[in-house]
A and B are shown apart, each in its own frame.
Chain A
Amino acid sequence: DAKTTQPPSMDCAEGRAANLPCNHSTISGNEYVYWYRQIHSQGPQYIIHGLKNNETNEMASLIITEDRKSSTLILPHATLRDTAVYYCIVRVAFNNNNDMRFGAGTRLTVKP
C-alpha cells in the first residue's frame, strides 16, 4: 500500500469548515483513499472513501485531485466533537490480504 503524508496537527474554529490535506504521490491506479478518525480513547471511526471522483456523505466530503496524488477531507461545519486524530490511508481496492496500516495522522483541534 502507498504511504501518505499528513500535517501532524491543525486547528479549526467551531462552525467553520475544516480542510484536512493528505499527500499520496505514489498511489496506484487500483488504490482507494480512506479516511478514518479516532476520538480520544475510542476505536477508529470510518468517515469516507473514494477512488477518483469526489465523494460526499453525511459526515464529510472527500476531494481527490485529478492526478490522484493528493486529497482533502472537508468537515463542512466543524463542532467541538470533531476534535480527533484523522487518518488518511490508501489501500488496494481488491485486497486479498485485507490489511490496512495507519500513518501518523493529523490531530485536529476544534476551538470555540
Chain B
Amino acid sequence: DTEVTQTPKHLVMGMTNKKSLKCEQHMGHRAMYWYKQKAKKPPELMFVYSYEKLSINESVPSRFSPECPNSSLLNLHLHALQPEDSALYLCASSQGGGRTLGNTIYFGEGSWLTVV
C-alpha cells in the first residue's frame, strides 16, 4: 500500500480567509513533503519534514505555514493568500530520515487551490 491521502481535493478561498490542507499516510514513512505545481510547470518543492521536524523550507512566504502533528499527518495552513498562489498542492512521503537507501517518494493526488 503506497497511499498518500490529501484533503480537500478542491478548495476555493478568499484572500482574507484562513484554511488548511491536510495530508495523511499510514506507510510508516518518516519524511513528508509539500510541493506546489502551477499549470504546465513541474512540481516545486516547498517544505520537507523529517521525523516531524522541518528540515527544508525553500524560502516559502510565511502565508504558507506547515505543521507536522505526528508522523502520519502533515498540514499546510494558508492565510492571506494571493490569487497567484492558486495551484495544485501535492503532498508526498518517503521512508526518509538518515541514511536511507533508494529513498522513493510517493505522492498524493493533490489539492487544487483557487484564491479569489
Contacts and interface: CB of A to CB of B under 8 A. Distances in A.
Tell me, yes or no, whether A binds B. Answer: yes
Interface of A: 32, 34, 38, 41-46, 49, 85, 87, 91, 93-105
A96 to B, nearest CB: 6
A105 B42 contact: yes
Nearest to A42: B109
A54 to B, nearest CB: 16
Nearest to B32: A98
Contacts of A97: 48, 50, 55-56
B21 interface: no
Contact of B101 (A42, A85, A94): A94
Interface of B: 2, 4, 31, 33, 42-45, 48, 50, 55-56, 88, 90, 92, 94, 96-110
B50 to A, nearest CB: 6
Contacts of A101: 44-45
Contact of B102 (A45, A93, A104): A93
Given A100-B45, A103-B42, A49 B107 contact: no
* 8 closest Cβ pairs, A-B complex: A102-B42, A43-B107, A98-B31, A94-B99, A98-B96, A43-B109, A44-B107, A102-B43
